[in-house]
Amino acid sequence: EKKKEGEGRGGGGGGGAQPSDTVISALSVQANALKNEFSSSEVATTMWSMAVLNVRPDAVLAASLTERAVESLPLFSSEEMGMLIWALAVLDLRPNREVLESLKTASLVRMQKPDEVTQAMWALYDLSPRLLLGLAQMAEHRMSSLSPRLASSVLWSLAKLNFVPDAALVLKLSEHMAASADKLEAPELADVWWALAKLDIRPDDALLGVLLSRSTLLASSFSAAHLADAFCGLARIRRGGGGQ
């Protein structure tokens, strides 16, 4: 199944000595003692690291770190936001509704990199499908400010999660990308082709035309994975009738 690369700062390491439970436990005790002193960056890094180590903080520490995160949201970078949301999902921590709403609102506003948006949408869906619906609605309302790369990433994420709240969002994403398709590069084009195939959607003539022309222009820059995604999208469209 198709996957996006990257999980916050990256996956685990190789072989060799591994951190012992003793040192992790000792550091967790100290983190509890200093839980009110963490900066936004320190909260994000600590939560992300615990998720990578598969160490679930106790309820008091988890609540304190999450509370500190909400207090510091204006100071979070987009990377730190992605790290925090990913960690919450991986550790299966369920903050209260106010915290989740704050994270939802801040995530799309702050995040400017496609991989960060993809990661946040997956994590929010894992935490609560209703949050992803809210994020999708925010994307629809902020469509004009989304870059073509972000729009393609939102579409890819919806397809990856097999989550389409309504046809209007997909239509607006398509129209938005069609209007600025000259800014789409091979990876984004491949994402769009794959998403259309996954969701079994035939794009309107405007988007189909620019996807075809742009893909033809950039064909020599497609990797093998990009080619597979593009062919998949074309096959679905041809099978559904029509095509150019």
pLDDT for 227 equals: 94
SS3 27: helix
Phi/psi of residue 6, nearest 5 degrees? 100, 130
Q: Which residue has the tokens 């990256």?
A: 10
Report residue 21 as tokens. 């439970």
Mean of pLDDT over the chain = 76
Residue 97's H or E segment, with its range, is: helix 97-110
What's the pTM? 0.56
Band (pLDDT 50/70/90 cuts) for residue 130 is low
pLDDT digits (tens, 9 = 90+) for 198-210: 888 787 787 888 8
pLDDT in tens, 153-193: 888 878 887 777 677 777 778 778 878 878 889 998 998 89
Percent of residues in the chain assigned helix, strand, coil, to nearest 5: 75, 0, 25
The predicted-structure confidence for 12-45, as pLDDT tens digits, reads as follows 444 444 556 777 778 888 888 887 788 888 888 8
Half-sphere exposure of 209 (CA within 13 A, CB side): 7
Please tell me the distance from the alpha carbon of residue 19 to that of residue 132, in angstroms, as a whole number.
Answer: 35
Cα-to-chain-centroid distance, residue 149 = 12
Contact 178, 206 (CB under 8 A): yes
Say yes or no to pLDDT of 78 above 80.
no
pLDDT of residue 113: 62
pLDDT at 129: 66
